[in-house]
Amino acid sequence: MDIEIFELERRQSLWENVVEWNLTESGIHPYTLNELLDQKEIDNLTNLRLGYGQTNGSIELREGISKLYPNSDIDNILVTNGSAEANFISAWNLLEKDDEITLMLPNYMQIWGLARSFGCKITPLYLKEELNWQPDVRDLKNLVKPTTKMIIVCNPNNPTGSVLTQNAVNEIIKVAKENDAWIYSDEVYRGAEYDGDESATFWGSYDKVVIACGLSKAYALPGIRIGWLIGPKSFIADAWAYSDYTSITTGVLSNRIAKRALEPEMRNQILSRNRTFLQENLEIMKNWVKKHSNIFSFVPPTAAGIVFLKYNRDILNLNSTDLTVKLRDMKGVLIVAGDCFGMDNYLRIGIGSEREYLENGLSLISEFLEEIIL
């Protein structure tokens, strides 16, 4: 099986630990253990035996996850090494050569690449900037057919930070039911909404829904590599069998930390802290864009630590990849080219970092713009 390079991840992996200013991160400034746990909890971790954990996730962690999804229990849940493993296992489990899928674009492109390598036929469902990065539901009705195996969405969305309206959610569910198609919903940014109004999950709307989520983005805990799948019990049983061929199990330390993070009081504390980061940094970003309004425009995100900027090609007459490479080489600032989402003429900038770090990075981008435009 041939597989294409996952451009977003490869570019980040090559450069994010080399540049001085990394604004490619789509999550929020991560916690340290000392910030997250008290000394007694840390001491308990140091005394934990480092054996193999339960391969589908500890019972305690799965119980904590199930409380986030009404009418689920631990057998609806598989704990994975990040949401990336959740995506891989699901695609490997459900998709076969010549399957037809409808995939929201722009999107995190992991399943796009996997589906292409499996020989699937992909029909894009484009979010439209003029609709504030919402889909036109009329497109959905035309794209999804009885032969469609799966509708794949990312909500809240990466890279736009948009959240589907309830009308769009209802239409996706309706069309999926009418065509007996799976809904696969990447909800890793759920909980990172700017107004604190947590977006609705697709879980419970239909008997062929699978959710991927995890602690890397909204919870600012990417380093513990905890993700999960929630779906019908038969699907989860199959997915668990597939995970036996990948990483087998997640770490016992990570399971323990994740369980603590999802306890209601701690969860609220984490999401509140992260929301403050996002609200403050979005204002910084808005003010910066105003200063460069002849070059950039964007629909402000309603969730997630990212903005998706459109740039004026008459002023910046560069392909998005060329532009980001030039910025990296001249100023040591790394941002994501729209090419990584199949959308040249756009740039994704992470705004989940500490305030001063973001301000310094944006200041260097301003210097870069002055130099290349002059």
Which CATH number fits the domain that encloses residue 302? Answer: 3.90.1150.10
CA distance 357 to 338: 22
Last residue of a domain, one of 217, 233, 265: 265
- Given a cut of 80, whether residue 309 has pLDDT beyond it is yes
- Given a cut of 70, whether residue 374 has pLDDT beyond it is no
Residue 195 sits in the same domain as residue 111: yes
Structural domain of residue 149, as residue ranges? 50-265
Is residue 279 in some structural domain?
A: yes
CB atoms within 10 A of CB 341: 23
Q: Which residue has the tokens 């292409």?
A: 116
Check residue 274 and give its pLDDT. Answer: 97
Is residue 2 in some structural domain?
A: no
Is residue 43 in some structural domain?
A: no
Q: What is the pLDDT of residues 265-298, one digit of tens each?
A: 999 999 999 999 999 999 999 999 999 999 999 9
Residue 235 sits in the same domain as residue 308: no
- Given a cut of 80, whether residue 1 has pLDDT beyond it is no
Residue 241 sits in the same domain as residue 272: no
Q: What is the pLDDT of residues 237-262, one digit of tens each?
A: 999 999 999 999 999 999 999 999 99
How far, in whole angstroms, is CA 216 from its chain's centroid?
Answer: 8
Residue 153 sits in the same domain as residue 23: no
Last residue of a domain, one of 210, 235, 265: 265
Predicted TM-score of the model (pTM): 0.96
Q: What is the pLDDT of residues 135-172, one digit of tens each?
A: 998 899 899 999 999 999 999 999 999 999 999 999 99
* Mean pLDDT over each residue of the chain, to the nearest integer: 97
CB atoms within 10 A of CB 46: 7
* Structural domains of the chain, count: 2
